[in-house]
Amino acid sequence: MRVAVLSYPMLFQTAGGLKMKVGRTVDALVQRGIDARLVDPLKERLRDFDLVHVFAPYNGNHRVVEQAKGDGVPVVMSTIISGRFSRWQGWRARFLTRLVGRLSGWEMTTNYQQILTALTLADHLVVLGSSERQVLVDAYLMPSSKISIVHNGIGDEFFRATPQAFHERWPKLRRPFVLHTGQICEVKNQLGLVRALKGQDIDIVMIGQVNSESAYLQACLGEGGSRVHYLGELPHGELIASAYAACTLVAIPSRYEGMPNSILEALASDRAAVLTDTHTMDFELPSDVTAQVASTDHEAIRRAVLRLLANPPAPGRARSVVSQMSWGVVAARLEEIYRRVLDNSPAPAKDREQAGVAIGACEGASA
């Protein structure tokens, strides 16, 4: 089975959970004997593959789906849609899409319509949890039978993490500290964490990429003073895992998340975690190893951190919560979906004809 894996080009120019997820997924599929790889559209044709797996329906990826369907190649899409989007908001988006179409003589469209086109044309949709599935059903009118839940995986290095490599790299960071990993930006809410813990006898270590929001980093450092340490961006893997093992607690009270890899990796590294209450994870997060808080409630963040610091879980307890979430399990589930899609796919010529009909239907929906 030859699987072409694609997403929007600029994804691979940044750091973040989705970039890591794509790479780890490809590696896990290859380990199962599937010929999966990131495709270079400049050198390879989608029609030369058995199936296309697209990550995210936005940032122009609807064109990838249109091309694949036009070539008669079935498409599986990981939707990666985070945040709440209700049935009412979906109705409003469809109304505005029609309005934009009429006002522009159907020469302009909306981001919602592009996402809807990608979702409609894809043969099967993969989501991270039941809340994301409900968004697709309510706001994008997708049939639930077209959607499967596949949770994120966790790298083996996190399950065996030790603090040794981190301490060798930063020998002066020996005080107990709270760790925040992720892009340095307002969405990840590092500044909210710093303000919540200001005045407490707690150090904060931040790891992550800084793009255009260097002023935000300076605000974090200025607010926290000597108690906040920024270590820069680290490659995903052994050293990040060691950082988790070296910390006392992980706290990432983001504005919103999908299924935050950083929280899963923290638990795999046997560390308790404070996280946002706006996420798409639908499995149990026991209160003795996690605390879910509103990103804007500094008092709640402070109480959650102090509670877990005062009552840390027993060794092995946090790790046990995610013990079955390996990338191998993810790859096995995806292979099942791929084979089911291929078994139900029409012949290429018929598929191309149906793709044309679907594209017309999507365009007609905006009329």
pLDDT: is 346 or 239 the higher one?
239
- 250, containing H or E segment: strand 249-252
Residue 117 predicted with pLDDT over 80: yes
C-alpha neighbours within 13 Å on the C-beta side of residue 136:
32
The confidence band for 288, taking pLDDT boundaries of 50, 70 and 90, is very high
The pLDDT assigned to 365 comes to: 45
pLDDT at 245: 97
Same domain, residue pair 13 and 148: yes
pLDDT at residue 363, rounded to an integer: 47
Res 221 pLDDT > 70? yes
pLDDT band at 213, cuts 50/70/90? low
pLDDT at 87: 84
| Rounded Cα gap, residues 121 and 9, in angstroms | 20
Together in a domain, 192 and 332: no
Do 162 and 298 belong together in one domain? yes
| 351 has a pLDDT exceeding 60 | no
Q: Are residues 116 and 149 in the same domain?
A: yes
Average pLDDT of span 11-19: 71
Radius of gyration of the CA atoms of the chain, in A: 22
DSSP E strand boundaries for 277-346: 290-293
pTM of this structure: 0.76
pLDDT digits (tens, 9 = 90+) for 295-309: 999 999 999 999 999
If you average pLDDT over residues 98-107, what whole number do you get? Answer: 89
Q: How far apart are CA 19 and CA 186, in angstroms?
A: 19
Please report which confidence band the pLDDT of residue 367 belongs to, taking 50, 70 and 90 as the band edges.
very low
Considering the domain architecture, whether residues 149 and 165 belong to the same structural domain is answered as: no
Residues 129 and 176 in one domain: no
- Indicate if the pLDDT at residue 340 is higher than 90: yes
Residues 194 and 222 in one domain: yes
Alpha-carbon span 255 to 340, nearest angstrom: 36
CA 47 to chain centre: 28
Indicate if 249 and 165 belong to the same structural domain.
yes
Give residue 85's pLDDT.
Answer: 81
Q: 121-125, 126-130, 316-320 — which is least confidently predicted? A: 126-130
Provide the residue range defining the domain that includes 7.
2-153+327-365
Question: Per-residue pLDDT for 199 more than 70?
Answer: yes
| CA 24 to the chain's CA centroid | 12
Do 14 and 105 lie in one domain? The reply is yes
Rounded (5°) CA angle 231-187-321: 75
Mean per-residue pLDDT for 194-218?
A: 91
| Beta bridge partners of residue 51, listed in sequence order | 3
Q: Write down the pLDDT at residue 300.
A: 97
User: Are residue 127 and residue 177 in the same domain, yes or no?
Assistant: no
Residue 107 has a pLDDT of 86
Measured CA to CA, the distance from residue 262 to residue 259 in angstroms comes to 9
3-state secondary structure at position 336: helix
Q: Check residue 90 and give its pLDDT.
A: 84
Give 42-56 pLDDT, tens digit per residue. Answer: 899 999 999 999 999
Q: Quick one: average pLDDT of 179-193?
A: 95
Q: What's the CA dihedral at 243, 249, 253, 258 to 10 degrees?
A: 60
Beta strand residue intervals within the chain, DSSP E: 2-6, 35-38, 51-55, 75-78, 124-127, 147-149, 177-181, 203-207, 228-230, 249-252, 273-276, 290-293
For residues 242-258, average pLDDT: 94
User: What percentage of the chain reaches a pLDDT higher than 90?
Assistant: 69
Give the CATH number for residue 12: 3.40.50.2000
Per-residue pLDDT band at 350 (split at 50, 70, 90): very low
Distance (Å, whole) CA 193 – CA 189: 7
| Structure confidence at residue 50 (pLDDT) | 97
Report residue 245 as tokens.
């093992």
Cβ-contact 243, 169 below 8 angstroms:
no
Q: Is the pLDDT of residue 187 over 70?
A: yes
Are residue 145 and residue 169 in the same domain, yes or no? no
Q: Mean pLDDT of all residues in the chain?
A: 90
pLDDT (average), residues 243-263: 92
- DSSP state for residue 53 in the 8-state scheme: E
Note whether 233 and 350 are same-domain residues: no
How many independent structural domains does the chain possess? 2
Structure confidence at residue 109 as a pLDDT band (50, 70, 90): confident
Question: Residues of the chain with pLDDT > 70: what percent?
Answer: 92
